[in-house]
Structure 1
């Protein structure tokens, strides 16, 4: 079977790769994450101009095609560069929900602005008690005339501190863990009664805690069908999981190659430590883990593309395998670098932090291993 990229995909990969090499070195990234919003508005505008924000969307929605393999191409390069711009949270996750659930009028309004780089979105779906259970939603939305009245709390909302609009998963009926009764609403963060607290995560990305106290949201802001949003949420989270795995694979490639290069220059007992056979074996193991993770990532992307975006077993297989590889490669890289590997001044420590985070985002390695077994 031919796993080569198409000409368009190679051009896309080359475009992102050149940006990372020329305009997104480690020093520039450090300056970007130190600002108030945690990413570069100039870079975000450039992403829009180059068409990268259109990649996850189908041509019917004004995008470039929206295949999972296309998305994988972009996210691998973003992983290699440790890109902090909220492509995953705003475009892939939130934009994917809009594309799948919203009315044509809503899509024209929201997706157009999103792909032009003029709109930041955040999907608020996790709660402090829910862990990785997408059905565990305690936050309520009760009809009050022409509005919904929202009460509850959302935790670790990616891109939540700067988002212009929130997509919020609420419970309009049923018990706390029922599959039915989950609804999506578009919420303005400036609405009375809404409080958000933004913060930087350990991997230099951004998130927020959001509290809703009798927040009024017009019924017209309903996205999709009331009480029937779970299927779309599961699909969007799985697609975001694939994108996260691709980012992790890109980061793993970069960190293991940096480790190999370091062992060629770091000397011990008068010789480079890369000459020691025991360390060579460990670096071969890192390469093997990376190749296995990339292979299963490609399998999952092809499964998504051939099954109309629904392939939960393949996604869990990829997340489980990628999580194990990320843990192994990250820890080996730190050990082989020694004490310098955990310093803020060396990019290896930042790759390690991001790889550690990817093991738990959208479901831990153990969670997806069990999910795979159940499916």
Structure 2
């Protein structure tokens, strides 16, 4: 296992950092928190021009044909600047699900549009239970004649208010084995019977509740095989968990840099407060946590890229990084003192997103249980 970057990956990382630091300042992050769409078309097109929107897709579908590990490298840099917008929902959630289980016709139709920046996708997984497990999928899809009728509710659907297509996880068959009977549908959110209600979130990101009332979708909208969608969905949840860990890693690393910079500049008792041992220890603990995040995230991403069994590594990464990001932000607030708690200072932007990311695609407690089971407990 080699977790080092090759030359092209290092170029991707450095060029992404330079672009994002210039094009995505915190002022834009703040402004888009208040914008109901949560992104700008101009910036979206710039990412398309860079090839980022098609980064993990094959060239035959207009993509760059890079690896999942390369995508994780890019997401880490996006996490450093708290990139707003539908990149995660479109490329990671919608795009990778489509790539894994879509028919040739579906992929040929939609993946090039994603790469071109002409379509936004999302994935509706969770329901009122907020579970990312098979038992959490309860939205009913009933076959009637040549179409399916969907009834139920999805919660915390990212970017649903701007999505052109949403992949919806449904239950098409009741079974004692909850992993059986799950089917994915590619749905137009403007279909009659769908109601989308934006939700207020701690991170200021754009999530929504979707209610389905007798929503008719054709059988051709099925993504993958009927009743066997959990294999795809569970794998995409793992991909999303590590991708979110990469964003958290980038955010934690930026919080560390922000804190070190502040401690060098803030003078008290005639010297920079970074010279005080207690604050040095805070930063040392933060740096240790960040390096741990980097290792477990890269390890899980590498195994996923190689197609190796990775259930344990994904769980370790998401559990560790979720806790570590929160810890890094808490130590940063302690080190900054009062200014770190003001809305004008950028630290609070990271702290709020750390909490939201901790809960996304399975929280720490869920993944600690997975790790415990993997070691025979």
TM-score, structure 1 length as denominator?
A: 0.95
Aligned twin of 1:257: 257
Q: What residue number does 1:131 align with? A: 131
* Structure 1 unaligned residues grouped into runs of 5+: none
The C-alpha deviation readout for 1:255-305, integer Å capped at 9, x for no partner, is 011111111222333332212111111110100110011011111111112
**Residue 135 of structure 1 contacts residue 176 of structure 1 at CA under 8 Å; is this kept in 2?**
no
**Alpha-carbon deviations, 1:300-335, whole Å to 9, x = none?**
111112226x52211111111111211210111112
Counterparts in 2 of 1:205-244, with a 5 A limit?
Answer: 205-244=205-244
Report if aligned partners of 2:121, 2:163 keep a CA contact under 8 Å in 1.
yes
For 1:102-113, what aligned pairs fall within 5 Å after superposition? 102-113=102-113
Aligned-residue Cα RMSD (Å) equals: 1.6
Give SS of 1:135's match.
Answer: helix
- Does structure 1 residue 154 correspond to structure 2 residue 154? yes
Taking the aligned partners of 2:177 and 2:85, their CA distance within structure 1 comes to 33
CA contact (8 A) 2:3 2:302 kept: no
Is 1:348 aligned to 2:354, yes or no?
no
Residue 325 of structure 1 is matched in structure 2 by: 324
Deviation at 1:238, TM superposition (A): 0.6
Residue 2 of structure 1: how far off its partner (Å): 5.2
Matches within 5 A, 1:29-40: 29-40=29-40
Take 2:201 and 2:19, find their aligned partners in 1: how far apart are those partners?
A: 25
Q: Structure 1 residue 173 and structure 2 residue 173: aligned?
A: yes
Determine helix, strand or coil for the equivalent of 1:352.
helix
Give the 3 Å change call, closer, same or farther, for CA 176–122 of structure 1 in structure 2.
Answer: farther
CA contact (8 A) 1:58 1:64 kept: yes
Distance 2:131 2:4 in 1: 38
Partner of 1:357: 356
Q: Which residue number in structure 1 is paired with residue 42 of structure 2?
A: 42
Aligned partners of 2:217 and 2:142: how far apart in 1?
Answer: 10
Match of 2:85 in 1: 85
| Unpaired stretches in structure 2, ≥5 consecutive residues | none
Query: 8 Å contact 1:32–1:39 — kept in the other structure?
Result: yes
Alignment of 1:335 with 2:334, yes or no, is yes
Question: 1 CA distance for matches of 2:109 and 2:285?
Answer: 49
Residue 25 of structure 2 is aligned to residue 16 of structure 1: no
**By how many angstroms is 1:133 displaced?**
2.0
String of CA shifts for 1:207-227, please: whole Å, max 9, x gaps. Answer: 000000001111111111100
Provide, for residues 164-189 of structure 1, a one-character-per-residue CA deviation record: whole Å limited to 9, x for no partner: 11110010101487110000011111
* TM-aligned CA distance change 1:74 to 1:285, over 3 Å: same
Does residue 1:67 correspond to 2:67, yes or no? yes
Quote the offset at 1:7 in angstroms. 2.2
d(CA) in 2 for partners of 1:113, 1:42: 16
- The separation in 2 between residues aligned to 1:178 and 1:21, in whole angstroms, is 45
Question: What is the CA–CA distance in structure 1 between the aligned matches of 2:37 and 2:176, rounded to whole Å?
Answer: 34
TM-score (ref. length: structure 2):
0.95
Contact 2:319 2:364 in 1 (8 A): yes
Deviation at 1:200, TM superposition (A): 4.5
